[in-house]
Amino acid sequence: MDFEPLNIENEAVEFDMGGSGDDDATALDLEHPDDSYDIFDDDLVQSSNSTRSRDDLASGDPNLEPYEGMEFDSEQASRIFYNSYARRIGFSTRVSVYQRSRRDGSIICRQVVCSREGFRRDGGENRSKRQRTVTRVGCKAQMTVKKQSSGRWAVSKLVKEHNHELVPPDKVHCLRSHRHVSGPARSLIDTLQAAGMGPSGVMSVLIKESGGINNVGFTKVDCQNYMSSSRQRTLGSGGQFVFDYLKRMQAEDPGFFFAVQGDFENLTGNIFWADSNSRMNYDYFGDTVTFDTTYRTNRYRVPFAPFTGWNHHGQPVLFGCSLLLNESESSFVWLFQTWLAAMSTRHPVSITTDQDRIIRAAVGQVFPGTRHRFCKWNVLREAQEKLSDVYHSHPTFEAEFQRCINMTETIDEFESCWESLLQRYDIGDNEWLQSMYDARQQWVPVFLRDTFFGEMSVTQGSDNINSYFDGYINASTNIQVLIKQYEKAIATRHEKEVKADYDTMNISPILRTPSPMEKQAAKLYTRVVFMKFQEELVETLAYPATMVDDTGSETVYRVAKFGEDHKVYFVRFNVFEKKSSCSCQMFEFSGIICRHILAVFRVTNVLTLPNHYILKRWTKNAKSGVVWDEHTLGLPNDSQDSSAARYDNLRREAIKYVEEGAESVRVYNVAMDALHEAASEVTAAKKHGLGVVQSTSINCSQQLQSCTVDQDKKIKELAAELDIASQQCEAYRAKLLAILKDMEEQKLKISVNVRNVRLNLRS
């Protein structure tokens, strides 16, 4: 094998035997189409958890042809790019050798080759006697990437020449690395199979729906194998293992929730579970949710789908998990309703899923008031399949297509750019493209900026779905391993959150301006969120704000970066309420105030952040107190019927009690005495039963009546104080308006005087 010499002083070279062994795992299926259904290698660049190369998305010259020195954000991104390049050229790829660092064991070098690289090994006497087509012909085409000191990966060796014929565009879908049964295709196959249709009939429908066999994305053999595995998609012996695990967890954790659709002994439905931490996390961070179906694809042995979100450090946080044994619309409706019940029936502001037709329908039924977004990364990946001919014929199309989606600032700009693309590449009659245009409000960023999705920037826009279990689950994971990896992932994520909490509390950020607002934000925000805010604040120095309209109560400012007057933002500012809205809508989307509003605050002397621009979910105290209404806790039927609901109610009340009790030494001592007394009453209630409980209830009722009288008196006093404060506020407002009027008059007088002085100087 021709492989570049490596410096192995502190590294070790390893061979990926899964990719370089039997031809079954690497054969070019155009010649041998029915070897195996494992159409994707475990390390293939089609992985749903990957991110795209910056070079691939760059404007101008997209660098779609690989070259030595080309850089990528990650090793995975380089493999995605090379496989995309291989699809356009007409060959299949596979992972070959890699090199690990002896210092930390991480991969620092990876080689991706043409699938026809090398030669078939001599199988010996124990190999199968079935004759197979020779597919390895010693092709030298390959790309080697190495990790740089900067953390990016660069192409260190590239061989473009092949020693065999390349596959034409109308047959490239037969190559192993380019075959993929997508989510929408699986849903359609499941529906047709349930109706009694066989593989030939199903394939005919897929060909018609896709506009030709070239656009289906896989072969009839793949369809047959998927349908065969679908009939066997049950947990088998692992079912009892899962059930035992869930029962054990419920016994250990009173807040643990799980539900099974249908009869567990004859399991045909879905399974859902959430521990008490997941349910608590949803209380604090349940404004935006991602339903991650990455592991639902047929290449994974367990159809695992978690519900996730973002915590106050911008880290993935878990809201529950499911096993999808049935992918019908009714099963997804059951799953979403069950999850919602476990989360106290509190609907999220937004939810992100893939664009599967059945999931879309289920989300519409269960979350009618929630903003539904499709994962943009999944849409772009599907675009490579559906528009493969366009990608191959027009190398510049992909960069322009993504620029149209990601870089347009307004809806009008997007519409104009989209129409221009259709005309330039003559793709106006493409049915898939038209269907995605019809759904543009659910995946194109410019249409989603008015809704909170918890991402740090508008342009982030779901490029990659929020995967809590990234790196813990792969194609070989079975159900027993899944449970272990699930627990390992939770432990690791918890450690990372604790580390982020520690850094936030113990490492003071470096302030870059004398602004009181920056000092205020440093005290309030977590470290990661503060750094994002600080970036926006510092950028205001390059963004002058100019008043363009003033209606008295509201002022409109024009904000543009110095030297970039073509890219203008407009900020509406209410001087009395100190409320602003910017055309970029960054605050609405991410909950972090943008540089354009901060620039207006700078010129209007707003020195500290108004409270309505500080989202508690991004602060150091995000997990203190109760975010949601305490009356929505537990299951919806009766807040005291289940032990989990009672546990949640007591826990929340205890959290509030602890926070108030820790304010001072005196209050702490009173709180401790009250706790001791309460503990004695609880013990007595457990010993003597209802009699003591009723007696305690009478005492509590008497105390409550006394407290009610005191509270009424206090409310009247506060109401009187509020009236006085309102009168003072009106007086201050009148004075402020008078002062502003005087300032404008003085400004006008000074302007006239300056003009007169200039005229005198000229004369």
Ranking 141-155, 285-299, 739-753 by mean pLDDT, the lowest is 739-753
Residue where a domain stops, chosen among 563, 595, 618: 618
- At residue 226, the 3 state secondary structure works out as helix
Ranking 531-535, 693-697, 754-758 by mean pLDDT, the lowest is 693-697
Residue 334 has pLDDT above 60, yes or no: yes
User: Which pLDDT score is estimated for 242?
Assistant: 85
Q: Is the Cβ–Cβ distance between 601 and 517 less than 8 Å?
A: yes
Q: Is the Cβ–Cβ distance between 399 and 57 less than 8 Å?
A: yes
> With a threshold of 0.75, does the pTM exceed it?
no
Contacts of 426 (CB under 8 A, 6+ apart): none
Residue 3 has pLDDT above 80, yes or no: no
User: Which pLDDT score is estimated for 256?
Assistant: 93
Residue where a domain stops, chosen among 561, 596, 618: 618
User: Which pLDDT score is estimated for 297?
Assistant: 57
Q: What is the pLDDT of residues 299-309, one digit of tens each?
A: 555 788 999 99
The mean pLDDT of 29-52, rounded to a whole number, is: 34
The mean of the pLDDT values for the chain is 78
544 with 407, same domain: the answer is: no
The mean pLDDT of 4-19, rounded to a whole number, is: 37
Ranking 70-74, 98-102, 452-456, 695-699 by mean pLDDT, the lowest is 695-699
Ranking 148-162, 420-434, 748-762 by mean pLDDT, the lowest is 748-762
User: Which pLDDT score is estimated for 341?
Assistant: 94
Q: What is the pLDDT of residues 136-145, one digit of tens each?
A: 889 999 999 9
Count of CB atoms situated within 10 Å of the CB of 5:
5
User: Which pLDDT score is estimated for 657?
Assistant: 65
Residue 298 has pLDDT above 60, yes or no: no
470 with 343, same domain: the answer is: yes
pLDDT band at 340 (very low <50, low <70, confident <90, very high): very high
Q: Is the Cβ–Cβ distance between 334 and 269 less than 8 Å?
A: yes
Give the tokens for residue 763. 């004369």
The mean pLDDT of 80-101, rounded to a whole number, is: 88
Give the tokens for residue 218. 């896989």
Ranking 36-50, 186-200, 350-364 by mean pLDDT, the lowest is 36-50
Residue 15 has phi, psi (to 5 degrees) of -105, 130
Torsion of CA 211, 212, 215, 218, to 10 degrees: 130
Residue-number span of the structural domain to which 89 is assigned: 70-118+135-169
**What interhelical angle do 329-342 and 357-366 show, nearest 10?**
40
User: Which pLDDT score is estimated for 662?
Assistant: 63
User: Most confidently modeled of 51-65, 161-175, 334-348, 636-650?
Assistant: 334-348
| Cross-strand bridge partners of residue 157 | 144
Q: Is the Cβ–Cβ distance between 248 and 258 less than 8 Å?
A: no
101 with 82, same domain: the answer is: yes
226 with 240, same domain: the answer is: no
Q: What is the pLDDT of residues 172-224, one digit of tens each?
A: 878 888 887 877 888 888 777 666 566 777 888 888 888 887 778 788 778 87
Q: Which of 687, 618, 64 is nearest to 384 (CA)?
A: 64
Side chain identity at residue 206, one-letter code: L
- Indicate whether 534 belongs to any domain: yes
User: Which pLDDT score is estimated for 155?
Assistant: 94
The mean pLDDT of 624-650, rounded to a whole number, is: 47
| Terminal Cα distance for the chain, rounded | 88
Q: What is the pLDDT of residues 369-398, one digit of tens each?
A: 999 999 998 898 889 888 988 998 998 999
Residue 19 has pLDDT above 60, yes or no: no
User: Which pLDDT score is estimated for 388?
Assistant: 87
474 with 584, same domain: the answer is: no
User: Which pLDDT score is estimated for 286?
Assistant: 94
User: Which pLDDT score is estimated for 62?
Assistant: 47
Q: Is the Cβ–Cβ distance between 152 and 2 less than 8 Å?
A: no
Cα–Cα distances in angstroms (integers) from residue 52 to residues 49, 103, 190, 312, 482, in the given order = 10, 28, 30, 26, 27
The mean pLDDT of 583-600, rounded to a whole number, is: 95
- At residue 156, the 3 state secondary structure works out as strand
User: Which pLDDT score is estimated for 552?
Assistant: 80
CA 469, 472, 478, 484 torsion-angle sign: negative
Residue 1 has pLDDT above 50, yes or no: no
- Indicate whether 369 belongs to any domain: yes
- Indicate whether 656 belongs to any domain: no
- Indicate whether 693 belongs to any domain: no
Residue 338 has pLDDT above 80, yes or no: yes
The mean pLDDT of 635-653, rounded to a whole number, is: 50
- Return the higher-pLDDT residue of 133 and 409: 409
User: Most confidently modeled of 33-37, 64-68, 751-755?
Assistant: 64-68
Q: What does the DSSP assignment read for 526-548?
A: -HHHHHHHHHHHHHGGG--EEEE
User: Most confidently modeled of 20-29, 475-484, 647-656?
Assistant: 475-484
Q: Measured at the alpha carbon of residue 84, what is the angle toward residues 81 and 90, in degrees to the nearest 5?
A: 135
User: Which pLDDT score is estimated for 658?
Assistant: 63
Residue 687 has pLDDT above 60, yes or no: yes
475: number of CA atoms within 13 Å, CB side?
15
The mean pLDDT of 598-604, rounded to a whole number, is: 94
- Return the higher-pLDDT residue of 651 and 551: 551
Please give the tally of structural domains in the chain.
5
- Indicate whether 569 belongs to any domain: yes
User: Which pLDDT score is estimated for 9?
Assistant: 36
- Indicate whether 99 belongs to any domain: yes
583 with 603, same domain: the answer is: yes
611 with 583, same domain: the answer is: yes
- Return the higher-pLDDT residue of 164 and 702: 164
- At residue 4, the 3 state secondary structure works out as coil
User: Which pLDDT score is estimated for 688?
Assistant: 64
Q: What is the pLDDT of residues 693-745, one digit of tens each?
A: 333 333 444 443 444 456 666 677 776 777 777 677 666 666 776 777 777 77
Give the tokens for residue 606. 């707003």
- Indicate whether 101 belongs to any domain: yes
Calculate the CA 77 to chain-centre distance. Answer: 18
User: Most confidently modeled of 3-12, 124-133, 322-331?
Assistant: 322-331
User: Which pLDDT score is estimated for 209?
Assistant: 83
362 with 390, same domain: the answer is: no
| Cross-strand bridge partners of residue 308 | 290, 318
Q: What is the pLDDT of residues 468-500, one digit of tens each?
A: 888 888 767 778 888 899 999 999 999 999 999
Query: Where do the DSSP E strands lie in 470-553?
Result: 545-550
328 with 469, same domain: the answer is: yes
281 with 427, same domain: the answer is: no
Q: In 179-328, which ranges are continuous DSSP H helix? A: 183-194, 199-210, 220-231, 238-252, 276-285
- Indicate whether 245 belongs to any domain: yes
494 with 347, same domain: the answer is: yes
The mean pLDDT of 85-92, rounded to a whole number, is: 88
540 with 590, same domain: the answer is: yes
Q: Which of 370, 475, 465, 402 is nearest to 25 (CA)?
A: 475
